[in-house]
Structure 1
């Protein structure tokens, strides 16, 4: 595991350098904005894949934690009583507590019942956002913007600094999820996904394990919401609507569930499609639906999963390398 951690740290550093270098090589502001969208929604999709791909729990209400992180962070910053780091910690902690309460009910249910009760909780939270106008601003969202006071010499009011901050948070969250993915806890979740009855027979507390990953996924989703709130300087009811959860599921379907970074690829593809489709047609929903349908029916898995399986099949079908000839033995002189 130590060797794997060192490899992951090296890959994370290289990935961060690439993210930081892209706006310098291509300085147009639209690229920076596009990448922040990919970072926020890619983090949302990655957190959802902890449930879908790793544990086999399909949640239709994951956007509730995305919205919770955005609103709690935005309200704390508007109060002017806390700094950005403290508001982030409070938002993640509060969202994790919310996920603990909801998850304690949801993880006891199976398959479609789990999916629909998560959707029910999301719609409940969305209705609170709409009706508690004095606190949340109702359907107008948080009004007045979100202050970004400097902290530790970091000024998030500057666009390049905000992007670099989002990139660092993104890479750190990916690194943390990667360790969960490769840990004994992660392999226990895979066993629960594949055969929960056998896992229970072996002494695994299935409900407790599911609840743990549910809370972790909610906390990471709240961090994605914080990044989006910082970027748009607000929080809006759409963050907690069912369509946002649907977009996260689309990202997973596009990218794949079994390759670790598959959901990030799916987020990139979906944002790219949204960008170009909305330029050329108003029927973006129809076009996106056709693209997803073609991928599901044609590849029968996400793009990253398809590529990984194709490479594995190529390696398996490749003929083994010929063995090196043994050196000829010389007779000893008699």
Structure 2
């Protein structure tokens, strides 16, 4: 009964958030707010999917952008050269990244800590090299040029407002699905494996299989973020699968919070805001962003949502004692 009440509560929260997002264009019709939320949907899914591995699975991946970029390229190629409809292309991108995640994950999740991290980075650089060198298919360092068809029936995703609503619906749906999965028995098993893999093995849990499932799930949700970004820029570019993109996802989690589900989305929003401000005010973009990340890491010593949750917990404890 409690699990059903929790599900209903979180479903209502997701619907309430979606209603608020859908209403934003009626109060702020300018493109700035709409473009920001579209990018936030893409990067929020990207960062939250990575946190399935980092925060819930204890597996720090330095190569998660291979699935973000892989989803963007698979979607774009299916649309451009395969003539697929938008739903079929989205499904194709998810399946492609699921298979890629299955192959890469089957190798990587056997390893521990730093070996896992750097092997995922090696696979990412391999995917990035393929994108750069296979010019006839991917466009090389120029990316997929010529735009992606963004019309499906009467739905025109080339229109900013329509793409905004599409991104909000897909983003909230995927976040809700991730939350549901992480609150399921599988999610708690993943936490157990993170906290004590040896004890989990003793209890009969197949640790390798649990980690592999988490890796594939994270790959699928990251690919949806890549699809949204591909629709936003009407193309796909090698930077989507470069190691710096994975680094940005790690920054999002660090700034937003590892231990709260919404933390990576908050971190994605913060990083987008900082990026927009820094690029307008200084040419030393990397230096300024690095200083900000250090301030968060050394000042809060955790993500901002983790910090806020800890403050509220302290307040409630004091109130209960009094």
Shorter chain as denominator, the TM-score bin is: over 0.9
Of stretches 310-319 and 204-213 in structure 1, the one that deviates more from structure 2 is 310-319
Residue 239 (str. 1) matches residue 262 (str. 2): no
* C-alpha displacement of 1:272: 0.4
* C-alpha displacement of 1:266: 0.1
The CA distance in 2 between the partners of 1:262 and 1:23, in whole Å, is 25
Q: Which runs of 5+ in 1 are unaligned?
A: 322-334
Q: Equivalent residue for 2:150?
A: 148
The CA distance in 2 between the partners of 1:89 and 1:3, in whole Å, is 31
Aligned residues: 320
Q: Equivalent residue for 2:211?
A: 210
Q: Equivalent residue for 2:111?
A: 109
Q: Equivalent residue for 2:47?
A: 45
The CA distance in 2 between the partners of 1:150 and 1:116, in whole Å, is 40
The CA distance in 2 between the partners of 1:285 and 1:81, in whole Å, is 39
Q: Please give the per-residue CA displacement for 1:242-279, whole angstroms capped at 9, x wherever unaligned.
A: 00000000000000011110000000000000111111
* C-alpha displacement of 1:157: 2.1
Residue 194 (str. 1) matches residue 195 (str. 2): yes
Q: Please give the per-residue CA displacement for 1:253-307, whole angstroms capped at 9, x wherever unaligned.
A: 0000111100000000000001111111111211111111111111110000000
**Greater Rg, structure 1 or structure 2?**
1
Q: Equivalent residue for 2:292?
A: 291
Of stretches 135-144 and 21-30 in structure 1, the one that deviates more from structure 2 is 21-30
The CA distance in 1 between the partners of 2:185 and 2:320, in whole Å, is 34
Residue 228 (str. 1) matches residue 229 (str. 2): yes
Q: Equivalent residue for 1:330?
A: none
The CA distance in 2 between the partners of 1:158 and 1:50, in whole Å, is 32
* C-alpha displacement of 1:128: 0.1
Picking from 119, 133, 136, the partner of 2:135 is 133
Question: Any runs of at least 4 consecutive aligned residues in structure 1 with deviations exceeding 2 A, and if so which?
Answer: none
Residue 94 (str. 1) matches residue 89 (str. 2): no
TM-score normalised by structure 1 residue count:
0.94
Pairwise CA RMSD: 1.0
The CA distance in 2 between the partners of 1:80 and 1:103, in whole Å, is 28
Look up the SS of the partner of 1:318 in the other structure: helix
The CA distance in 2 between the partners of 1:224 and 1:184, in whole Å, is 25
Aligned pair in 2 of structure 1 residues 202, 81: CA closer, same or farther (>3 Å)? same
* C-alpha displacement of 1:80: 5.0
Q: Please give the per-residue CA displacement for 1:198-238, whole angstroms capped at 9, x wherever unaligned.
A: 11111110000000010000000000000000000000000
The CA distance in 1 between the partners of 2:200 and 2:82, in whole Å, is 48
Q: Equivalent residue for 2:34?
A: 32
Q: Which runs of 5+ in 2 are unaligned?
A: none
The CA distance in 2 between the partners of 1:133 and 1:2, in whole Å, is 51
More helix as a share of residues: 2
Aligned pair in 2 of structure 1 residues 12, 319: CA closer, same or farther (>3 Å)? closer
* C-alpha displacement of 1:23: 2.3
TM-score normalised by structure 2 residue count:
0.98
The CA distance in 1 between the partners of 2:127 and 2:78, in whole Å, is 18
The CA distance in 1 between the partners of 2:282 and 2:156, in whole Å, is 38
Q: Please give the per-residue CA displacement for 1:73-108, whole angstroms capped at 9, x wherever unaligned.
A: 000101253210011001101110010000000000
User: Any residues of structure 2 matched to 1:237-316 within 5 Å, and which?
Assistant: 237-316=238-317
The CA distance in 2 between the partners of 1:175 and 1:4, in whole Å, is 12
* C-alpha displacement of 1:320: 4.5
Aligned pair in 2 of structure 1 residues 148, 319: CA closer, same or farther (>3 Å)? closer
The CA distance in 2 between the partners of 1:163 and 1:62, in whole Å, is 25
